[in-house]
């Protein structure tokens, strides 16, 4: 049966999974005696499944010429079309909402951005669970696409390692691709990743419940952590009851958003090296150490002219900075309960610019995190280091072997191209928002929050929180499309649009 389902177009399969996902809030609503919302999600799920069956029958004989690029096109269409299907249950559960708000909410959740236009107390726990489920499903799709769709096409950060042009397979894979069918690869990685992804979510859910969070709150936060969507329910993360032990459990799971090599059960060629030697993990640790120490040590420079807390708050301030910095580096967006203490301790107020910079750097390649990605930043740093060495010793020979030289040359060049495309995207989106009537500072924060899939930056990245509910419909449409671009990355979109399969 799995073989038969794998033969269907990827977009049809994903639509069917959207229908199956409604079972989660429907069962919760049934158990919590919220029968109205349970019926809404159940009936909407059945409707989506009927549409899936009809589309499956209609496309059963469909056979694309280039299956790899067909999967890439299906991935792009999934982020463009599936939010409308996912908005159907939400619109049924909230009959007084608008289509634009429902689409924006589901686009934000599906791209793991986590921005919301609804007040927490307006939505029932069943609806909050649906938001978290959509974000969790979007996080799994991101993982699956990174391994099974983007990596074979040298996209998603893998081009930095391979050094080849994005959108093309590796040299000499023409014979391999005839035996290793892209559909088989997609099925194999789905069966490999899903049990690990689900098991880690359940494990974190149980840990958070043991540490004092309620069952539904712990489940939403577990889903939001593993998917890096940062979605919360009626209770905010910093007030959830887990305290510092709960934040430590979530902090440990940030490791899976920093490096793909930390994900258990996934066999990669680079797993032969120790995890502590992973460049992404080392760079993330360095960035967190620098940010934490700078904000923590700033207390002693401003203590003479500001009313700073006493020394008893030092451990809480240190932890608040470390956790929140790691949360925004992985584009999750959860805020520590000690963050307010940390900002008072540093005397800097809301260090939004620091969090914006961390979100732009982002997490690891082939993870659920967004942003530029740590591996691209690492390649640029290694290139800069090598150039400085050549200035001091012009006749020196670079260290590290063939892989390191490829990373410093072709990898750094491709990383710089992506960074320029990312910066251009920021400028274009900001221009659109400014034309739509948004002021400069909110436009900057909203643009970076959407492109890096860190919607919580609107709450903490500016001097004053920016409520998404107060934005106009054109602004929401712009931000929703920006979230899709940020999730897919501009290189993937260009690789789909520009012809390049016939060139070697």
pLDDT, tens digit (0-9, with 9 covering 90-100), for 132-190: 999 999 999 999 999 999 888 888 888 888 877 777 665 444 434 444 577 888 989 99
- CA–CA distance, 486 with 111 (Å, rounded to integer): 8
pLDDT one-digit tens code per residue, 33-78: 999 999 999 999 999 999 999 999 998 877 777 777 888 899 999 9
Question: For residue 309, what pLDDT is reported?
Answer: 58
Question: For residue 43, what pLDDT is reported?
Answer: 96
Residue for token pair 């010793």: 393
Question: For residue 357, what pLDDT is reported?
Answer: 95
> What is the Cα 153 distance to its own chain's centre?
20
Residue 204 main-chain phi, psi, to 5 deg = -65, -35
- CA–CA distance, 18 with 149 (Å, rounded to integer): 20
53: number of Cβ within 10 Å? 13
Do residues 155 and 491 touch, judged by C-beta distance below 8 A?
yes
Do residues 351 and 254 touch, judged by C-beta distance below 8 A?
no
Do residues 197 and 227 touch, judged by C-beta distance below 8 A?
no
Question: For residue 271, what pLDDT is reported?
Answer: 60
CB burial of 339-372 (b: ≥16 within 10 Å; e: otherwise) equals bebbbbbbbbebbbebbbebbbbbbbbbbbbbbb
- CA–CA distance, 498 with 388 (Å, rounded to integer): 36
Token pair in block for residue 384 = 């800069």
Could you say which residues of the chain have pLDDT below 70?
Answer: 1-4, 6, 168-180, 267-272, 299, 302-311, 349-350, 499-504
Four-CA torsion 324, 325, 327, 330, nearest 10 degrees: 170
Query: How close are the terminal C-alpha atoms of the chain, in Å?
Result: 37
pLDDT one-digit tens code per residue, 366-379: 899 999 999 999 99
Query: Which secondary structure element, helix H or strand E, spans residue 201, and what is its range?
Result: helix 182-210
Question: For residue 439, what pLDDT is reported?
Answer: 95
Please report, rounded to a whole number, the percentage of residues in the chain having pLDDT higher than 90.
63
Question: For residue 311, what pLDDT is reported?
Answer: 67
- CA–CA distance, 77 with 89 (Å, rounded to integer): 20
Angle between helices 490-497 and 473-488 (to 10 degrees): 80
DSSP 269-324: GGGGS-GGG-HHHHHHHHHHHHHHHHHHHTHHHHTTTS----GGGHHHHHHHHHHH
């Amino acid at each position: 049966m799995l073989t038969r389902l794998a033969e269907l177009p990827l977009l049809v399969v994903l639509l069917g999974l959207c229908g199956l996902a409604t079972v989660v809030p429907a069962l919760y609503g049934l158990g919590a005696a919220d029968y109205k919302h349970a019926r809404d999600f159940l009936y909407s799920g059945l409707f989506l499944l009927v549409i899936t069956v009809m589309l499956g029958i209609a496309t059963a004989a469909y056979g694309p010429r280039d299956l790899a690029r067909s999967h890439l096109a299906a991935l792009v269409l999934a982020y463009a079309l599936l939010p409308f299907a996912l908005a159907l249950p939400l619109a049924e559960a909230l009959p007084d909402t608008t289509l634009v708000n429902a689409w924006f909410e589901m686009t934000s959740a599906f791209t793991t951005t986590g921005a919301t236009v609804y007040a927490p107390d307006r939505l029932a726990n069943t609806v909050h669970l649906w938001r978290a489920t959509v974000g969790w499903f979007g996080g799994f799709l991101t993982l699956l696409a990174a391994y099974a769709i983007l990596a074979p096409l040298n996209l998603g950060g893998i081009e930095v390692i391979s050094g080849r042009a994005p959108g093309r397979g590796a040299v000499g894979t023409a014979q391999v691709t005839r035996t290793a069918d892209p559909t088989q690869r997609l099925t194999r990685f789905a069966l490999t990743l899903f049990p690990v992804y689900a098991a880690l979510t359940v494990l974190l859910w149980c840990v958070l419940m043991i540490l004092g969070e309620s069952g539904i709150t712990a489940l939403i936060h577990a889903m939001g952590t593993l998917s890096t969507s940062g979605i919360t329910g009626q209770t905010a993360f910093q007030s959830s009851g887990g305290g510092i032990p709960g934040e430590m459990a979530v902090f440990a799971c940030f490791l899976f958003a920093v490096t793909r090599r930390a994900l258990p059960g996934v066999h990669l060629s680079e797993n032969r090296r120790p995890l502590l030697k992973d460049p992404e993990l080392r760079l993330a640790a360095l960035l967190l150490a620098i940010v934490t120490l700078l904000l923590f040590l700033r207390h002693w420079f401003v203590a003479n002219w500001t009313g700073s807390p006493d020394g008893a708050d030092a451990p809480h301030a240190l932890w608040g900075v470390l956790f929140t910095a790691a949360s925004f580096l992985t584009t999750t967006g959860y805020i520590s309960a000690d963050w307010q203490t940390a900002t008072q301790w540093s005397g800097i107020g809301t260090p939004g610019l620091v969090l914006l910079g961390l979100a732009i750097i982002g997490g690891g390649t082939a993870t659920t995190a967004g942003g530029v990605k740590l591996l691209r930043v690492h390649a640029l740093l290694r290139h800069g280091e090598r150039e400085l060495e050549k200035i001091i010793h012009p006749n020196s020979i670079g260290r590290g072997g063939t892989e390191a030289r490829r990373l410093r040359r072709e990898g750094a060049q491709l990383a710089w191209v992506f960074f320029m495309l990312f910066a251009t995207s920021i400028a274009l989106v900001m221009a659109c928002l400014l034309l739509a009537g948004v002021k400069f500072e909110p436009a900057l924060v909203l643009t970076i929050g959407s492109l890096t899939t860190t919607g919580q930056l609107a709450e903490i990245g500016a001097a004053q929180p920016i409520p998404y509910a107060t934005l106009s419909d054109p602004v929401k449409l712009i931000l929703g499309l920006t979230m899709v671009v940020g999730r897919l990355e501009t290189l993937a979109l260009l690789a789909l649009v520009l012809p390049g399969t016939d060139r070697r």
